[in-house]
Amino acid sequence: MKKLLILFSFLLINQFLISQNKIVFNTIDSLFKYAENNSISIKTGEQQVLLAKWQKISAQAGLVNFKIQSSFSLTNNVKLPVTYFPAEPFGGEPDTFKEITMGQQYIGNINFAPQIDIVNPVSWAKLKSAKINTKLTSVNNLIVKKMLFESISASYYNILSLKEQIKISNKNLYTADTLQTIMYNKYTEGIIRHQDLNDATINKLSLKDKLKQLQISLNQQYYTLKILCDIPQNTELTLTETIIYNQPFNLNLKTNNQLDFKLSLLKADLAKEDLRINRLAQFPTISIVAYNGWQQNNNNQFFDSNADWINSQYIGLRLSMPFPDINKFTLTKTANINKTISELDAKHSKLQNNISNTQLNLDYKKAYSQFKTTNQIFLLKEENYQMALNQFNASILSSDKLLIAFNDKLISQLNYSIALANLLYTKSKIEINNSMK
């Protein structure tokens, strides 16, 4: 009884561990949500946004630019310097000198020197630059997220398409097996040639090989999806959604995503601010400066209780004027060229962004047209196959033409499912673009 209990517990724990390594997604939106919470690229983007915010806070603190320098020193003048004074005032002979040791041996010094910039043009420019950089980082992260979701969508619908192709191929494999049996019976009856039987066998083998290739492609797409979503490799991934052929589609679905153009505009603004920073760096800075210090001098010891700490203070304004040099000049010229380039890039990006949107809208219409056409072709090819099968059974059609009709029907059915998956993917891309603006 005890052994049975241990075995049952082991099986229960093992089943629990296996269930922990399974992830099931019912829709593509649930997959997007998982990627949003677990994708390393999205997490990296979030850290970049956080970094940009702290840079903005740093720039805001730099507006005041409060600095304080403090120092504490203890100096033991082991050997004090000697100064020569005229000896006559001390009772010596004229034109002679007396050696006198100057200074104190033990000197303690404590001081504080605060400084506050009240006019610092560069700090204001850096703050605006930091604000633009924060917006730029957010837009760039949206672009990264959009591209990631588009890649996930492509892999997702590839998986659905491959699963549907495997399902179709399995059904047709049963039909191919039936055809082979019919051919064999007709061959044993002497109605058809051995070559016809071989063709039926080859047809079945080819379909089996296609099924294997489809399964390999399906496994590859699962691995691709795991990489995109940062799902552990040993986790079993399951997509329960299936392709629905008779679902409605909105032909007026369009996108006008301008993220790329927004990014280029922010880059141009950042280049303008960089130029302004370089120009303002040549302007003076006005600061309030102050000093508060204490010094103790004596010849006995450090921190002598009998010696006083002497306090000194001052407060004032300081004008700091940078000296113009060739380095500042070249930096300003370079920043000006970069600004011009970024403005030209922004103009090109607007045109490219609009063309990309138009292309995606046309891709959707094209995918819908292909879907409807492949549907009609499949229905006709299926009808042709049924007529060919009836004619073959009536011994008025050759076996090779029957196999051609069968393969035409299979290819048209596969093309129909592929066209639907492509339409769903294109529709998903438009929805992704519309959700990120």
In a domain, 347, yes or no: yes
- List pLDDT tens digits, range 13-69: 444 334 458 999 999 999 999 999 998 888 888 888 788 888 777 777 777 777 888
Spatial separation of the C-alpha atoms in residues 281 and 290, rounded to whole Å? 24
Task: Give the pLDDT of residue 8.
Answer: 46
Closest Cα partner for 45 from 148, 151, 153, 155? 148
Assess if residue 99 is contained within a domain: no
Instruction: Look at strands 236-239 and 22-25 and give their pairing.
Output: parallel
Residue reference for tokens 């059609």: 397
pLDDT tens for each residue of 179-198: 999 889 988 988 888 998 89
According to DSSP, the residues that pair with 427 across neighbouring strands are none
Q: Is residue 91 in some structural domain?
A: no
Q: SS3 of 42, please?
A: helix
Average pLDDT over residues 241-245: 89
Percentage of the chain modeled with pLDDT above 90: 54
Which domain, by its residues, includes 24? 20-65+120-283+325-435
Mean residue pLDDT across the chain: 88
pLDDT at 4 (0 to 100): 46
Q: Which helix (H) or strand (E) holds 339?
A: helix 326-393
Q: How far apart are CA 100 and CA 120, in angstroms?
A: 50
Task: Tell me, yes or no, whether 367 lies in a domain.
Answer: yes
Residue 11: per-residue pLDDT:
45
Contacts of 333-338 with C-beta under 8 Å, sequence gap 24+, read 335/271, 335/274, 335/275, 335/277, 335/278, 336/275, 338/271, 338/274, 338/275
- What pLDDT was estimated at residue 134? 92
Q: The CATH number of the domain where 53 resides is what?
A: 1.20.1600.10
State the average pLDDT over residues 104-130: 85
Cut 0.75: pTM above it: yes
**Positive or negative torsion for Cα 223, 227, 228, 231:** positive
| Average pLDDT rounded to a whole number, residues 217-222 | 95
Is 384 a residue whose pLDDT tops 70?
A: yes
Tokens of 352: 């490219």
Cα distances from 77 to residues 72, 91, 99, 275, in angstroms, run: 16, 29, 18, 52
Q: Is the pLDDT of residue 163 over 50?
A: yes
Does residue 142 lie in a domain region?
Answer: yes
Is 4 part of any domain? Answer: no
pLDDT in tens, 62-95: 777 778 889 999 888 888 777 777 777 777 777 7
Average pLDDT over residues 283-294: 88
**305 occurs within a structural domain:** no
- Judge whether 33 lies within some domain: yes
Q: How high is the pLDDT of residue 381?
A: 96
Q: Is the pLDDT of residue 9 over 50?
A: no
The total of structural domains in the chain comes to: 1
DSSP for residue 246 = T
Least confident of 61-70, 122-131, 297-306, 355-364: 61-70
What is the SS3 assignment for 119?
A: strand
pLDDT at residue 2 in the model: 47
Instruction: State residue 48's pLDDT score.
Output: 83
pLDDT of residue 20: 55
- Please, which pLDDT band fits residue 344 given cuts at 50, 70 and 90? very high
pLDDT at 422: 97
